[in-house]
Amino acid sequence: MTQPDGTARRRVPRRATYLMCPPTHFTVRYAINPWMDPARPVDAARAMTQWRNLRDTFARLGHLVHTITPEPGLPDMVFAANGAVVIGGTVLGARFRFPQREAECAAYLRWFQENGYPVTVPPRCVNEGEGDIVFTGHGLIAGYGFRSDVAVADHLAEVFGLPVVSVRLVDPRFYHLDTALCVLDPDTAAYYPAAFDDAGRATLAAQFAELIEAKDTDAEVLGLNAVSDGRHVVLPASALGLAGQLADRGFEPVPVDVSEFLRAGGGPKCCTLELRS
């Protein structure tokens, strides 16, 4: 969206608080999405370097980052976004589709209980946290089709008292909503249309005044698995075209190398759970 004089709209950042988990035990030892191949080994040292750079990038941008202690035997615990949904200090716990990740649920809920969160709500159905549940600033968008149940929408409305709309994901490469949609600010989002059915595309068009359509080449490196503070957008360094589209709209792209996490179908957002007070 541009101003009347043709210049890009000025975007205003907000300060956020995030929870992250170091990739101490990160590896690809099973395949529960199309990106995972146990035959392609992860470079553990490189993954740790990339994670630290992501954490330090958030700190440099003025955000507060908490960390949870990783637990042995939980290689995907690094993907903190799946651990819960936190809005207004209320925590809705996650429940995973696959048993390989189920033990992460208790680990994340325990962290919240030990860190002063007074309301922690257990899940009623399968929901993979912020992987499939996106806060728009006005309400929630719940993704389903591969990993989370469509029934989660009713539970979200009950827990958070916010309007909720559901969208169906149709391409298994984009198995979580946060791989195909990034809310940039309450009026603006970037998305990959082919990841949604017709009804989902119409729903998203009704939610945002401005929608940026990611190209195939950027979606295919999970360029939409990004974190926005309303101005700065931390996104995979390989999503060059999307970075240009964001800059044209007045956002400031902040590229980071997350290539090791892409081996598991992850990126900056997967590694980042926002703690909304």
CB atoms within 10 A of CB 241: 16
Reply yes or no on whether 176 is catalytic.
Answer: yes
- Give every CB contact of residue 200 below 8 A, 6+ residues apart in sequence: 167, 168, 169, 170
Reply yes or no on whether 270 is catalytic.
Answer: yes
> Which one, of 42, 148, 150, lies nearest residue 98 by Cα?
148
Query: What CA–CA distance (Å, rounded) separates 198 from 194?
Result: 9
Determine which one of 105, 176, 182, 232 is catalytic. Answer: 176
Contact of 271 with 261, CB cutoff 8 Å: yes
What separation in angstroms does the CA of 156 have from each of 14, 16, 126, 143? Answer: 24, 22, 12, 12
Query: What CA–CA distance (Å, rounded) separates 211 from 177?
Result: 15
CB atoms within 10 A of CB 249: 18
Which H or E run contains 50?
Answer: helix 44-60
CB atoms within 10 A of CB 209: 11
The tokens describing 170, both together, are: 């149709």
> Which one, of 224, 257, 249, 266, lies nearest residue 54 by Cα?
257
Full DSSP string of 198-226 = HHHHHHHHHH-SEEEE--HHHHTTTTT--
| Amino acid letter, residue 131 | G
Query: What CA–CA distance (Å, rounded) separates 137 from 160?
Result: 13
Q: Looking at the annotation, which residues are catalytic?
A: 176, 270
